[in-house]
Structure 1
Amino acid sequence: MKIKFCITLMFVGALVSTVRAQSNDDPTARKLYLDFGGSVGLFIPYDQVKNTKTLIGSNAMTALQLNYYQNYFVKLQLGQTTVDFKSQNNFGAINSLIDAKANSTNLGLAFGYQHNFGRWQPFVLAGAGASFIDVPATSFVNTSNTVNYTTGSGTYMYINAGGGINFKVSKSFIFFLECQGSTIPELSNKSSTHLSGISTMIGIKAPL
């Protein structure tokens, strides 16, 4: 679902760029201008499960970016991360094993700097925001000797930093590669959520 949502937003961005291409106006020539786009990619958690293959998740993100003189920018980011969730608990003689998915929806603000080298524009950024997490959970009821499987939800602060490079295909269409590392300080590795990690993404955006 999140992939379809992101693809839809990317299509809208491409449509806007097509309309812009028919105009002589160059948005990036202005002192302040916005660009809008989306990206998809892979997510690799920092904490891995021992004696198992490397966990690899997915990430999709939509962003609205305010640029100042093509150099400084502030970016509003909305994204979702999904990764395998593996957890094992022992309740007396009962052994419980969970193999499911953990999800986080992230909304944050990042500040960055970018510099033009012809059509290429490398950039760096750092920011923070709120992470809305849903993870599988277990609990044991002694009276009925029952293991309950539920979904635990919570809101936490996340911190992220990263960099990448834009390639200006035209004045109204930009292709980019980006790598971001993010961490949720309140969640320890023992939580098994695996929602702190590195995202490598590919995307498109269009100046508005």
Structure 2
Amino acid sequence: MTKLLLIRHAESLWNAENIVQGQMNSPLTPLGIKQAELLADYLQNMEISKIYSSDLGRAIDTAKTISKNLNLPTEEVAELREIKLGEWEGKKADEIISKDQDLYYHWFRYPSQTIIPQAESISKFSERIIPAFYQIINKHKDEIIAIVSHGGAIITFLAHLLKVELDYIYWMIEISNASVSVFEFYEDNYFRLINLNNTDFLKNNIRGE
């Protein structure tokens, strides 16, 4: 059995400012740094054997805080990046809405059917992210591993595992900053979802809510 701790990065500046990030970078906020530190403390005694991270800065900074506390290296994997959101990246919602309100609201109802200019489609994103997760999982039989990635990536993988239409749950399930979701994988990728979006280890005033 492989235990996977699937972690969303801590709060970034653009999370706090409600700016679309996609594959653009923004640093962790002071709150995000504290979240990452508490996350690292929470993971301290879990006997993690390897830490993987998206190669985007907000994920790397979160993973490095964990790896420093656990004295483990972090392996960066480009395929674990968030979905590329093209022309929307670096913009606030009201700016996007003022240009194309219909497309914006269509994205929130039917993300798999929405084509954002210069963006990665949901289908291409799924073809990238799902094999990346499995490749890592299958390398670590009978181990506990941590992957630091992004909200969209985690939801997309969860929809795949649950065999649920992505449009149905993409915006329905909250994946909070610095949250930990725990999965157990057995032979033939049979899995159990043990915990989803756990932030109990974060103090109430630093959950970014």
TM-score surpassing 0.5?
A: no
Task: Calculate the TM-score normalised by the size of structure 2.
Answer: 0.24
Task: Calculate the TM-score normalised by the size of structure 1.
Answer: 0.24
Higher share of residues assigned strand: 1
Higher share of residues assigned helix: 2
